[in-house]
């Protein structure tokens, strides 16, 4: 039976009761301790030892701890796994405390409010957002990055699907919602959800909401800033004024399109390398790295803004040497946004302020260099830039060139900045010189060459003599201070006096340096907004010089924009794929669509390059509207408001949705949201169901886009029967990716040409996959049977070719009825009991073929494809 709890444990439980959803890091001396369930969970997550409270009263309490000085690593690990941490510190001096030391939670660290550590990526924002729903299915959405102070918001007027799209597009780490909101439909594994009481929404940051701002946005902003106040418990002066945006002012790219086009990470490995961002990010500053990612995900719609970016890219292309010097100068500019944020937050150190000083020293020459470009847009960008003369002078005069990380141990302030500090440093320096002379004098007087004068924090200064030399010491002068195994330590009256002087001077010097540093930091705070403004200018210049570099390196061309909604690209290339091929191996292709021809129906064999061709059209448009030049000989483009893609297939197992259901949901998004100014890419729609269903859906979708939506559309298919739609749909034309047969083998030419493909070459692709010879021969036999007979599919389509669209739709059910009256459609293999021994088709072969049918080759990397083929080959050989 346990006796009464100790006062310390009572204090712990009382504090923990207020922070139930966090790990409570409870400060005890040099450790943060965790107890009860916190200890059990933390020990498992952090892989540290779980112990038990040592006293008799508390012997059954689980306990674990982490050192105070290395806690950041453990905190970052928990944050990355979606947990929250409450930091509980001692808020009074233990020496003067009566009873248990007073403790308080001084900060709550969450995935969206973390300010430093490995959770913060240099070239990525760390967004937290608030969503406040209103009646009528509208919601206010506000997001902020505490590390930079950026705050933006928008009113979302659509249903919950649109809310989810904006949340995912914003790439947030944490979402704050009012306590009344039940957001199960918004649940996402990558986002931590937090609640905030909305009964008293009195934000301390009202001054950041300026102009005629929608009241709904004010509410969401108050929810978010109240959450900051409750969790951070400190001033957040670096928060920038709320920037209100309209989601429709940027090209809309839903999550599926971002993933399918591999804008910022690859589909299979979720890595930056191999994505469009990997290619286009030639920035040299962390700020520029964050901005280029944002620009790729949010291309512009305003042609004036787009052309401004293109004009500066062109100027930088025309001034090679100036651009190279600009890149060199930018390399010495540190992360101004986050340095400003840390200054406001109160956790910037002297070394980081030296980084700020070095950055500011580069700015005058950098801006002067930009003037030589004679570009009106760069002049507009830099006309309101501050040169920070006074701040730069302050930091140059005050801080040493190589200060320590700690701000409490001295070594921060230059000589000459403060007279009193100079006096303390002189006294300390003279005292240490006296100590050095004392050692030499004592050696000469005693004749003991091994005598030395030392210092430690416990005993102060001392004279150390080995025991063998003790008889040589003069009597009466030395006072024993400490006995060691092989030596004795002594002091003299003179040494005591100097010790008091030296240590007093050092203590006063360290305390004064700390106070002076805090004053300097406060002065830097007054420059927060100018620093943030300059950071935005430098970021944009950095991104555009990167666009210039990549455009020159890969021979990109400046695109033009068509008022007539023309999409004309000559010798266009996929920007990423061409980089992984040997130089000259990539086959460039054209596209020509206008108001009279808006759809391409693309046929051709698998692996011929249909998906690559479709993707490159979308990527060229995104690059152009982001402000970069494009991989083509020439490009005349419309400004697309949205891009929808359905390329590749994958089950959504987490929500229990099949490949076909995912395909239909993504297609629905395109059909319901696309406008005549949109771009739609649909790859092999309908392949996830039976032939009749798939072909019927594919034809119906093509007709709907053609007749109702009017968007520029690329539609690839293996239903060759659909090519007859060009006879009835005047804005659709057939193209195919050419392949030829040579010596019984297929050769992919990767060239898009007019007209439809003459055949599918499916068996030839199977040969490339090294399927068993018996399987291939059997497939060829069956193919000849299909081609020589009037099968249900061929019969149906031939009868439907002369019908109107509405008649076709009415014909499909009759075809199904006819199918029921006739023998079933031929299967690729007969039922097992009908196989003869001569067929030699084993169950293992059937399994392999079934697996191959379900394998999505388009979503495989080359290495994965080779590994898969090797696996099947080994199975067949065994």
With contact defined as beta carbons under 8 Å apart, do 22 and 106 qualify? Answer: no
With contact defined as beta carbons under 8 Å apart, do 255 and 644 qualify? Answer: no
Residue 608 assigned ligand-binding role: yes
Residue 474 assigned ligand-binding role: no
Q: How far is CA 268 from CA 154, 259, 859, 861, 863, in A?
A: 32, 10, 7, 7, 11
Among 208, 145, 211, 139, residue whose Cα is nearest residue 177: 139
Residue 605 assigned ligand-binding role: yes
Residue 39 assigned ligand-binding role: no
Burial of 620 (0-12, 13-18, 19+ CB in 10 A): buried
With contact defined as beta carbons under 8 Å apart, do 43 and 53 qualify? Answer: no
The DSSP bridge partners found for residue 176 are 130, 194
Q: How far is residue 173's CA from residue 161's CA, in Å, rounded to a whole number?
A: 19
Among 275, 276, 268, residue whose Cα is nearest residue 862: 268
Cβ neighbours for 238, distance < 8 A, ≥ 6 positions apart: 148, 149, 340, 341, 343, 344, 345, 528, 532
Cβ neighbours for 613, distance < 8 A, ≥ 6 positions apart: 574, 589, 602, 714, 737, 752
Q: What is the DSSP string of 444-493?
A: HHH--TT-EEEEETTTEEEEEEEGGGGGGSPTTT-EEEEE-SSEEEEE-H
Rounded CA Rg of the chain: 36
Burial of 790 (0-12, 13-18, 19+ CB in 10 A): exposed
Q: How far is residue 303's CA from residue 291's CA, in Å, rounded to a whole number?
A: 19
Q: How far is residue 704's CA from residue 710's CA, in Å, rounded to a whole number?
A: 9
Q: How far is CA 204 from CA 112, 227, 229, 808, in A?
A: 20, 11, 9, 64
Among 640, 734, 646, 630, residue whose Cα is nearest residue 686: 646
Among 825, 756, 746, residue whose Cα is nearest residue 786: 825
Q: What is the DSSP string of 747-779?
A: EEEEEEEES--S---HHHHHHHTT--HHHHHHH
Q: How far is residue 345's CA from residue 762's CA, in Å, rounded to a whole number?
A: 62
Among 602, 593, 878, residue whose Cα is nearest residue 750: 602
Q: DSSP class of residue 271?
A: -
Q: How far is residue 446's CA from residue 460's CA, in Å, rounded to a whole number?
A: 22
Residue 610 assigned ligand-binding role: yes
- Grouping H, G, I as helix, E, B as strand and the rest as coil, residue 163 is helix
User: What angle separates helix 286-297 from helix 528-553, to the nearest 10 degrees?
Assistant: 70
Helix, strand, coil fractions of the chain, as percent rounded to 5:
45, 20, 35
Q: What is the C-alpha end-to-end distance of the chain, expressed in Å?
A: 66
Cα atoms found within 13 Å of the Cα of residue 520, Cβ hemisphere only: 31
With contact defined as beta carbons under 8 Å apart, do 88 and 100 qualify? Answer: no
Cβ neighbours for 46, distance < 8 A, ≥ 6 positions apart: 64, 66, 74, 77, 78
- Secondary structure (H, E, C), 572-603: ECCCCHHHHCCCCCCCCEEEEECCCCCEEEEE
Cα atoms found within 13 Å of the Cα of residue 352, Cβ hemisphere only: 21
Residue 606 assigned ligand-binding role: yes
Residue 695 assigned ligand-binding role: no
Phi/psi at 827 (nearest 5 deg)? -90, 160
Residue numbers belonging to the annotated binding site for ATP: 604-611
Residue numbers belonging to the annotated binding site: 604-611
């Amino acid at each position: 039976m346990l006796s009464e709890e100790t006062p310390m444990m009572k204090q712990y439980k009382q504090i923990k009761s207020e922070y139930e959803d966090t790990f409570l890091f409870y400060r005890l001396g040099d450790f943060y301790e965790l107890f009860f369930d916190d200890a059990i969970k933390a020990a498992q997550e952090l892989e540290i030892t779980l112990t038990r409270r040592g006293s008799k009263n508390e012997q059954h309490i689980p306990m674990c701890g982490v050192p105070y000085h290395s806690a950041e690593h453990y905190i970052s690990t928990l944050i990355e796994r979606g947990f929250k941490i409450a930091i509980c510190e001692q808020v009074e001096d233990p020496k003067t405390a009566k009873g248990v030391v007073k403790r308080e939670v001084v900060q709550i660290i969450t995935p969206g409010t973390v300010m430093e550590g490995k959770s913060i990526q240099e070239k990525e924002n760390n967004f937290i957002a608030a969503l406040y729903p209103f009646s009528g299915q509208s919601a206010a959405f506000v997001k902020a990055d505490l590390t930079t102070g950026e705050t933006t918001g928008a009113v979302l007027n659509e249903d919950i699907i649109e809310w989810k799209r904006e949340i995912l597009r914003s790439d947030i780490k944490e979402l704050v919602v009012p306590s009344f909101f039940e957001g199960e439909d918004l649940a996402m594994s990558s986002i931590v959800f937090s609640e905030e009481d909305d009964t008293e929404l009195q934000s301390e940051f009202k001054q950041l909401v300026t102009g005629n701002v929608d009241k709904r946005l004010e509410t969401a902003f108050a929810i978010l800033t109240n959450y900051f106040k409750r969790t951070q418990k400190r001033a957040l002066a670096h928060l920038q004024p709320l920037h209100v945006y309209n989601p429709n002012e940027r090209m809309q790219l839903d999550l599926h399109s971002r993933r399918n086009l591999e804008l910022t990470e690859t589909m299979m490995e979720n890595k930056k390398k191999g994505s469009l961002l990997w290619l286009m990010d030639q920035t040299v500053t962390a700020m520029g790295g964050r901005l280029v990612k944002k620009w790729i995900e949010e291309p512009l719609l305003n042609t004036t803004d787009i052309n401004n970016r293109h004009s500066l890219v062109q100027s930088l292309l025309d001034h090679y040497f100036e651009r190279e010097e600009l890149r060199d100068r930018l390399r010495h500019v540190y992360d101004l946004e986050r340095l400003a944020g840390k200054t406001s937050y109160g956790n910037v150190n002297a070394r980081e302020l030296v980084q700020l000083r070095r950055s500011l020293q580069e700015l005058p020459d950098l801006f002067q260099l930009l003037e030589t470009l004679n570009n009106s847009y760069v002049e507009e960008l830099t006309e309101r830039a501050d040169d920070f003369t006074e701040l730069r002078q302050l930091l140059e005069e005050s801080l040493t060139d190589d200060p320590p990380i700690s701000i409490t141990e001295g070594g921060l302030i230059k000589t000459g900045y403060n007279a009193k500090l100079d006096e303390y440093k002189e006294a300390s320096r003279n005292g240490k010189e006296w100590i050095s002379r004392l050692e030499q004098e004592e050696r000469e007087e005693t004749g003991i060459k091994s005598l030395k004068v030392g210092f430690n924090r416990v005993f102060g200064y001392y004279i150390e003599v080995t025991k063998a030399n003790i008889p040589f010491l003069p009597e009466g002068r030395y006072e024993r201070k400490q006995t060691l195994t092989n030596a004795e330590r002594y002091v003299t009256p003179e040494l005591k006096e100097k010790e008091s002087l030296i240590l007093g001077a050092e203590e006063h010097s360290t305390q004064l340096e700390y106070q002076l540093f805090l004053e300097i930091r406060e002065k830097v705070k007054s420059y927060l907004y100018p620093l943030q403004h300059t950071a935005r200018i430098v970021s944009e210049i950095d991104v555009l010089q990167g666009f210039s570099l990549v455009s020159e390196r890969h021979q990109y061309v400046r695109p033009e924009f068509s008022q007539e909604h023309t999409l004309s690209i000559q010798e266009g290339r996929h920007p990423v794929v061409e980089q992984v091929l040997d130089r000259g191996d990539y086959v460039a292709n054209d596209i020509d669509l206008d108001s009279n021809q808006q759809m391409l129906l693309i046929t051709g064999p698998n692996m011929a390059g249909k998906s690559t061709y479709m993707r490159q059209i979308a990527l060229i448009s995104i690059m152009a509207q982001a402000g970069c030049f494009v991989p083509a000989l020439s490009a005349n483009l419309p400004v697309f408001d949205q891009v929808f893609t359905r390329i590749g297939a994958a089950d959504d197992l987490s929500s229990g949705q099949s490949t076909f259901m995912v395909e239909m949901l993504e297609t629905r998004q395109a059909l319901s949201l696309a406008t005549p100014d949109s771009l739609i890419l649909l790859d092999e729609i309908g392949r996830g169901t039976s032939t009749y269903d798939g072909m019927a859906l594919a034809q119906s979708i093509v007709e709907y886009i053609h007749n109702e939506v009017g968007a520029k559309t690329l539609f690839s298919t293996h239903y060759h029967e659909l090519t007859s739609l060009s006879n009835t749909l005047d804005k659709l034309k057939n193209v195919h990716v050419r392949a030829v047969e040579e010596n019984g083998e297929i050769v992919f030419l990767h060239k898009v040409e007019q007209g439809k493909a003459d055949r599918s070459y499916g068996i030839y692709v199977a040969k490339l996959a090294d399927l068993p010879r018996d399987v291939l021969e059997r497939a060829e036999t069956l193919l000849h049977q299909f081609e020589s007979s009037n099968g249900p599919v061929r019969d149906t389509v031939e009868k439907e070719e002369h019908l109107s669209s509405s008649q076709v739709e009415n014909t499909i059910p009759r075809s199904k009825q006819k199918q029921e009256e006739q023998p079933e459609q031929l299967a690729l293999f007969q039922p097992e009991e009908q196989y003869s021994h001569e067929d030699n088709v084993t169950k293992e072969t059937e399994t392999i073929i079934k697996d191959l049918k379900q394998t999505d080759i388009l979503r495989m990397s080359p290495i994965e494809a080779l590994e898969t083929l090797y696996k099947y080959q080994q199975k067949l050989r065994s």
